[in-house]
Amino acid sequence: MKLSLVLIVGLALSGTFVKSATAAPQALAPVAPAVSCASLAQPGIDAEVGAAVTIQSAAEGTIRGARFCQVKGTIAPHIRFELRLPVSGWTQRYLQTGCGGLCGVLDVHVEHAETCTVVKDNAVALASTDMGHQGRFMGDGTFGTDPQARVDFAYRGVHLTALAAKALIHKYYGQAAKFSYFSGCSDGGREALMEVERFPQDFDGVAAGAPAMNFQVQNSFYHAWMYLSNHRADGTAILTAAKLPALHAAALAACDAADGLKDGQITDPRACHFDPADTLCKPGQAASDACLTAEEVEVARKFYAGPHDAEGHHFTIGGPQVGSELSWRGVYVPETPTGGVMSDGAALGTLKYLSFPTNPDPSYSLKDFRFDRATFDRLNDLHPLYDATDTDLSGFQARGGKLILWHGWSDPHISPINTIAFLHAVRAQLGAARADSFVRLFLFPGLYHCGGGDGTSQFDILTPLMDWVEGGAAPEKIIGGHPAFDPMAGPPPGPPPGAPPMAGMPPMPGMPPMKDMKDMGPPSLDDLPPPPIIRTRPVFAYPNIARWDGKGPVDQADSFVAAPPMVPDPAGYDWDGARFMAPGFHKLCEAVDGKLACH
């Protein structure tokens, strides 16, 4: 199979070569197809989906050595989807995967699941969607000029794809899937929570990674703040990537040993007290990458603090956590003073086309954005459309659903404090015991956004989810592996034996690049030798942390035990969007006479 550099990066990131501390999912008898693959191209599932479905193609093909019935279709008006049905060995499971950024690509791609036997053996039906539009790049928000496309992106595309896939599964195999799962990260994590909140009947088990649940503030206030905080009026950047290693080293020096073990990662950044002024160049010290200027120190302080106004009103739940410094590269810290970063396009693409009911003038730029409460209040209008912060998950719990939340402490895009706050809000809404019966949170030290980082970035999230759903065993820990080199930046000089060449791959540790991979097979261990694992660690269900037992090798998971948290959670979170985490705010929206109408 011919692999692109993008797919290579995705494979390395999602390579899960360390088994989780749970049993395997149920052994379900394989089911053979009841009809031909070609017959799926015939009309007949509109009623089940609630919209017109056109099947462009339905044909058998070989993907990674396995035979699939590959179905490509469109749900009116423009939601593209793809479904891959095993021709043999189907184990009665359906897995739908999420789409990151602002989507716009059709990418059937399974992350953090390579030791999940049924996925690795191509024994599950797989599907994904472009969410109703085709984007030129991951931050392309121009589809927001079409109100129907906004609704399809917000929730309709993922939900109707689930209905279409289930109808086709039933038609092909003559029976419904016994278990249905959803797994996604970033906006895919938002999509996962949106399914749990709006359509609790769609999936039995859901894995939501680094969820962009506070969509209305994420790309607007957060990324606009991060970009503008690091750029002067003339557009040049203040802090550049060459200074990040010095800042990160100082953060580790201040916080690494807070958990009792100096091991190159920070277990819980909230227990750390780090002042970026520690990196300030001393009087008489020659300017170099080994220290920061006063102007650069101020940028770092603004990053950590997150967007706020002069009166101290916070517009997100904090900024990136201490220890995440290397992941800022390419996201809001460029290589050179005139280099580009992701935050600029992410913020502008959302603000110009998606954030408000009426889009601003085409000449709108980030210089027009105001970090004030009046601007924040304008986000209220579409909060019921985009945000996935409904705390009443009782419908999902009542039908026996299980939810795994996971996040990296070193995520540069979405603060893990968002996910912690959401868990607390759900527990407050439903009661702690009830919430804990179907929700677990895992926070990975050193993990960047969805993958990469200086912690345990390789792990299997689907096996513990399936075992919880199918066997009733709630996961108490997940074993993660740390690779010998950061897959996001590529391997050391010279590719591993047998690996495709990786020369020219841009190091973008904050966010894996994306493109339309609709003609490529799902990632597999067979496609690319994984980087060797040099450390394994357990990540315990929140709020517990992993603590060294003082005896065993520090690079082996068995040497760590569950321990109480290093710091207590606050009673609440002081930010202007705290009211967004509440029950029953969602609205159903549709395009009426070219405008968005919600009720």
CA proximity to 317, closest of 424, 394, 461, 200: 424
Instruction: State how far the Cα of 195 lies from the Cα of 203, in Å rounded to an integer.
Output: 8
Confidence band, pLDDT 50/70/90 cuts, at residue 64: confident
- Find residue 533's DSSP bridge partners: 483
Residue predicted with more confidence, 515 or 48: 48
Q: Which two tokens stand for residue 36?
A: 């031909």
Q: For position 20, what pLDDT does the model report?
A: 52
Confidence band, pLDDT 50/70/90 cuts, at residue 285: confident
Please give the average per-residue pLDDT across 179-205, as a whole number: 98
Angle at 142 between CA 139 and CA 147, to 5 degrees: 120
Please give the average per-residue pLDDT across 130-154, as a whole number: 91
Asked if 80 contacts 74 with a C-beta cutoff of 8 angstroms, the reply is yes
Please give the average per-residue pLDDT across 6-31, as a whole number: 52
Residues 534-560: b if buried by 16+ CB within 10 A, e if exposed? ebbbbbbbbbbbbbbeeeeeeeebebb
Please classify residue 212 by burial: count the beta carbons closer than 10 Å to its beta carbon, then call 0-12 exposed, 13-18 middle and 19+ buried: buried
216 has a pLDDT exceeding 50: yes
Q: Which two tokens stand for residue 468?
A: 């919880």
CA proximity to 68, closest of 48, 43, 104, 40: 40
Residues 277-314: b if buried by 16+ CB within 10 A, e if exposed? eebbbeeeeeeeeebbeeebbbbbebbbebbbeeeeeb
Average pLDDT, the chain: 89
Please give the average per-residue pLDDT across 109-131, as a whole number: 94
pLDDT in tens, 80-103: 999 999 999 999 999 999 999 999
Confidence band, pLDDT 50/70/90 cuts, at residue 437: very high
409 has a pLDDT exceeding 60: yes
Q: For position 524, what pLDDT does the model report?
A: 39
| Sign of the four-CA dihedral 257, 260, 266, 271 | negative
The DSSP line for 236-289 is -BSS-GGGHHHHHHHHHHHHGGGGS--SSS-S-GGG----GGGGBPPTTPPPST
Please give the average per-residue pLDDT across 260-281, as a whole number: 95
430 has a pLDDT exceeding 70: yes
Q: Where do the DSSP E strands lie in 26-122?
A: 53-63, 66-75, 79-86, 93-97
CA proximity to 119, closest of 517, 462, 464, 528: 462
Helix (H), strand (E) counts: the chain: 17, 15
- Find residue 205's DSSP bridge partners: 181, 402
Place of tokens 């705390």: 391
511 has a pLDDT exceeding 90: no
pLDDT in tens, 329-347: 999 999 999 999 999 999 9
Residue predicted with more confidence, 5 or 540: 540
Q: 187-198 vs 157-173: helix axis angle to the nearest 10?
A: 70
| CA distances for 513 relative to 9, 91, 160, 394, 499, angstroms | 8, 32, 27, 36, 19
Q: Which two tokens stand for residue 487?
A: 């897959």
pLDDT in tens, 524-578: 333 555 678 999 999 999 999 999 999 999 999 999 999 999 999 998 899 999 9
| Single pTM value for the model | 0.90
Please give the average per-residue pLDDT across 422-444, as a whole number: 98
Q: For position 19, what pLDDT does the model report?
A: 52
489 has a pLDDT exceeding 70: no
Confidence band, pLDDT 50/70/90 cuts, at residue 284: confident
Q: For position 486, what pLDDT does the model report?
A: 60
Confidence band, pLDDT 50/70/90 cuts, at residue 9: very low
CB neighbour list of residue 79: distance below 8 Å, 6 or more residues apart: 129, 130, 131, 132, 152, 156, 157, 160, 161
Q: For position 23, what pLDDT does the model report?
A: 53
- Find residue 84's DSSP bridge partners: 70, 126
Instruction: State how far the Cα of 580 lies from the Cα of 444, in Å rounded to an integer.
Output: 25
583 has a pLDDT exceeding 50: yes
